[in-house]
Chains A and B, each alone.
Chain A
Amino acid sequence: MLTREHAIVDYRDGRAFPDRLDRTRHAHYVGYAERMLAIYRSGIGRERRALHRDVETLFAEEPDCPLRRIRAFAKLLDDVSTYAADPKGEASRLRLRVFDAAARFHPLVRQKDRLFEHAEAETKAAIAADVGLEWDEIDARLYADVMTFQRLESFQGYPDAVALLSRYNVAQLQACLYAAERVTVRATQDFKTILRYAKLARLLHEVRRVGPSEYAIEFSGPASVLRQTRRYGVNLARFLPALLACRGWKMTAILRTPWKRRAVLDLSDQDRYTSTLPPPEAFDSGVEEKFAATFGPERDGWRLDREAEVLADGQTAFVPDFVFRHEDGTMVLFEIVGFWTPEYLAKKRETLRRFRGHHILLAVSERSLREGAEPGASVIVYKTAIKVAPVLAALEAIRTSLSP
């Protein structure tokens, strides 16, 4: 990830436009990216500052390239590099030894005189002989552990030039979000992934239904209700790659500009950023996938939708695997509980208890049932695959129990 110092954001009319290299205006950047990768690939053994200087020199005559963009490229290249970091502190030990030896000759003067008889060159030669290296070698090693002088050991790199440019675009988007106070996502699918990664990024959510199978989820942190704070910008930036991997969403971030004004960043899956994460799996398990295939999109008046409803109570959110919608408006949630650890099952029970006001039909793997458990009417027990007939029967039972 980049730091705030790398961020290039154009704020216009209350909107934020993070720097983005596109295929038409910046087509020539593919060439730059190839040459940057070449500098690093052939740069094993060179000092960090030399690599950075070469990268900067590439852009010397480029009319469209702020200094921050060059620095950001260097950072992203460094992120996939390993430098010799001197973990044993050899440079540090050498320094102490040399400075200790030199202390009694202080000051090292250019010209000897009666009072000061320790000339720089002679003393350095004497110390070099004592250490057992040429002075030039000592001079080069003395500060070899300092970041700018560290030497490149290996370069993992990016698959190709386009991958580096995609990475750059996402990184600038994330750097822009460092200034975010809150983010609202309007989503029509992949709710599970969105909510799970937001929780991993330690964000609080507020879920609002805005249409059939469409939710507005606002993400922020605890102190966000107290004052405007950019404290959670890093969390929001960390959450972003997961969102970019999803489909069917729009996002609005409220940012605070360096001039203490408000600005918004609008983004959607149509902006086609390339996430570093793979897209979410369509189904959590083979059981689900198989059931969806067997049932089909619609059967006997019931339409089947995957992950289409979000139930929220405070900071607990529950996205059932499927939703059945009948022509007459009846809605039944369907959750499949596979074979899981007892801890997972206990947590799931707690969640279901919290949302017991909803019509939830459960399919439970036989192996997950407790010894001697008596599953209720809204529980279907399955062995390897969920059969359609008992599900339809249970759905109809719920529907008739609702009709007056």
Chain B
Amino acid sequence: MSDYLIQLSKNPIIQKLINTMGLPKPPVELNRNNLPWEERPFNDQPVMIGQIQQTAFTKTVAETVVKGGGNPFIEKDEAIFDIFHQAGKGYGRLPQSNVIDEIHENFAPKILIFDATNLHKPEGLNQVYSFFQSHLRSLAICGRVVILSQPPATQTDISAAATARALEGFVRAMAREIGFKGATANIVYVTPDAESRLEPVLRFLLSERSAYISGQPLYITAQVISDESIPKIRPLDGKTALVTGAAQGIGAAIARTIAREGARVIIMDRPSEDIPAGKLAAEIQGSVLCCDITTPSAGDQIVEMVSKTFNGLDIVVHNAGITRDKLLVNMKPEIWDQVLDVNFRAILRVNEKLLPIMHNNARIVCLSSVSGIAGNRGQTNYAASKAGVIGFISALAPKVSDKGIAVNAVAPGFIETQMTARIPFVTQLVARRLNNLNQGGTPDDVAEAITFLCSPGASGLTGQVLRICGGALIGA
């Protein structure tokens, strides 16, 4: 399951050969972090921050950077400098100037943040251009770029809305340009009333846990009621989680990661998977529920187990899924039915049963797929089911937001699993490279993103599809 090109590129002789022969650079091995959440995710990293005057988010950005351990480099504006100084003083992270002449030659910021929330006129885009034009070249390997803006849909002014939307195109294109060095770029749209929910999202996006998320827009709103404290470490302490299809593959990675952050995990999988499920349960001190998600009584079985052993659910990850690929003209009705039943209809059935036993501030995450967004040849059944999931979460989200429940989906692109290892070699060879980062993601990339979406700090995100695709070249 490992990427032979990344393995090759680690060999110093091959590296030399590639350089002298002028061959195209092989993909960079991404910096990842699969250790428990830490107090300072970007400890001692230089963070370059640009903005158009002081904005409503300047203070939040300053605090996020210094609390996360970053060393801020900012422009010489007295008001902004003062805000960063106030924030940094308590953490020993005082701001430094980002004027190019004043920083030393080999300076390579790990993170670039541009706060464009004050951008109301198309002409203002020039400032975005000049900030990135001068700093993007020096961005470190596996660096992070984030642009902040206000959601186009909430803007009353037409030119402001259009300009905010323009930024998304800019970010998507920039993400393609920096992918060769393992760096990612994303845009975060924040409504003015959701300022307090920005910090945890930034901490995640700017950390090494978001290694395979690139070119994506995220929308932070105050839609979901949130009355929980937001811990920086062990975010899921004391929570109870259900992960379906958790015995192997991505599901097992999700269960491990969620358990690592403190949650008690119910590992649910088909009865035939009892051995791997049992092993995993022993490893993470979880519980096993052997039950096929498609049996009509599945929902009741979960409710029964939860009411017996636990006091309700805080996290549900609808992960169970299958593929049965065939061109539509050759697809038998059983295959069509099976895929839709496991991937889509079972989720609707089970979720309905689970909602009454879910606590306030709970989190629901479904697994969609880039195939569900873009469609894929031979996957009419799969794409329909995964697109249906997107419809499901967008419809469910507003109905449960007053209980503090956030509902989201993740859409993985090419992830290195046993499932993708079975794809014919040549197809696999090509598919893996069709993204900004020139490589496949790992189950842990998906698990880290889901764990973040399940954390108290993710209350700003609901009804969204977060793609974990390395900026796949296909799909919107």
Please indicate whether A and B come from the same complex rather than being unrelated chains.
no
